[in-house]
Amino acid sequence: MRRKPAGRLHQIADAAIIVLSQQGYRLTQMADVAREAGLSAGALYSYVEGKEALLHLALAHAFELEFDESDLPYRVSSPDETLHLLKREFKRPAVWPVLSKKIRAGSVPLQPADLAGVAAELYDTMHARRRRIWLLDRCARDVPEIADLYVKQVKAQYLKDLAAFIAAGQVQGLFNRDIDSPTAARALLEMTAWLAMHRLRDALPLQVDEDQVRQAAVLLIGNALHRPEGRSADVREGSKAKSSRPARKTR
């Protein structure tokens, strides 16, 4: 029997991540991944048993898990095996140590530098794990079980924690109180996602150094939330006073 080239399964896993991240699980065909990997469809089946196994392989590779290339074709007993993989990986220690520490601290006062730490952590994590996030985001649209685990739990929990962090800074007078904290959390997450990840696949890429993009993300988050100097802690009363003035009659 002809020996299979070493590292070919990793090559297939890379191709699967690319295709699944672009087309999603429903539209992806084995032939698409074979083409991306430079193989025939028949050759691909000698490495991966089918589409369900291909998704499992892509996720395992995206989470930087080891897999055995000596036992081929790569297979899964059922789709539940893929869900168990995700549940196991999502239960690992928090990937947001800076934010998690600030949320757990509760009544401990925040410091002005804490916002930069949280912003840098968000950027660095999204940039380093962009292939994983792209894969999960796209496949969650087609696979409700992935959406339940990733979107409704992991992503939603981060947004909840970030909103709580922003609200705590508002209460302590560090952040602008005019901004709704859940809205701010979602806006900052989406802005950072574009700078840390999506710009790399954009038709109009930024022609700047990576460090400059990271610095811009951290500064933009800080400028968006910090209370303007010389402004009262709560300007909403002034806004209410203006809105209570009688409207000028028009001729």
Same domain? 30 vs 146: no
Distance in angstroms (rounded) separating the CA atoms of residues 132 and 195 = 16
Q: Write down the pTM of the prediction.
A: 0.86
Same domain? 130 vs 223: yes
Same domain? 44 vs 146: no
Which among 89, 97, 85 is positioned nearest to 55, based on CA atoms?
A: 85
Which among 220, 227, 228 is positioned nearest to 120, based on CA atoms?
A: 220
Residue 30 sits at φ, ψ, to 5 deg, of -55, -35
As a whole number of Å, the CA-based R_g of the chain is 23
Q: Per-residue pLDDT tens, the chain, 251 aa: give them.
A: 456 676 899 999 999 999 999 999 999 999 999 999 999 999 999 999 999 999 999 999 999 999 888 889 999 999 999 999 999 999 887 678 899 888 877 667 899 899 999 999 999 999 999 999 999 999 999 999 999 999 998 999 999 999 999 999 999 999 999 999 999 999 999 999 999 999 999 999 889 999 999 999 999 999 999 877 655 444 444 444 444 445 544 44
Residue ranges making up the domain that contains 115: 93-227
Asked if 85 contacts 63 with a C-beta cutoff of 8 angstroms, the reply is yes
Same domain? 135 vs 166: yes
- DSSP lists the bridge partners of residue 48 as 74
Asked if 118 contacts 224 with a C-beta cutoff of 8 angstroms, the reply is no
Provide the CATH number for the domain around residue 16: 1.10.357.10
Cβ burial of 196 (10 Å; 0-12, 13-18, 19+) is buried
Same domain? 57 vs 160: no
Residue 251 domain flag? no
Residue 3 domain flag? no
Distance in angstroms (rounded) separating the CA atoms of residues 176 and 225 = 6
Same domain? 146 vs 25: no
Same domain? 177 vs 120: yes
Same domain? 43 vs 146: no
Domain count, the chain: 2
Q: What is the pLDDT of residues 76-93, one digit of tens each?
A: 999 999 999 999 999 887
Same domain? 144 vs 70: no
Q: What is the pLDDT of residues 172-196, one digit of tens each?
A: 999 999 999 999 999 999 999 999 9
Residue 223 domain flag? yes
Which of 35, 52, 78 is at the close of a domain?
78
Asked if 197 contacts 126 with a C-beta cutoff of 8 angstroms, the reply is yes
Residue 246 domain flag? no
| Residue 150 per-residue DSSP state | I
Residue 136 domain flag? yes
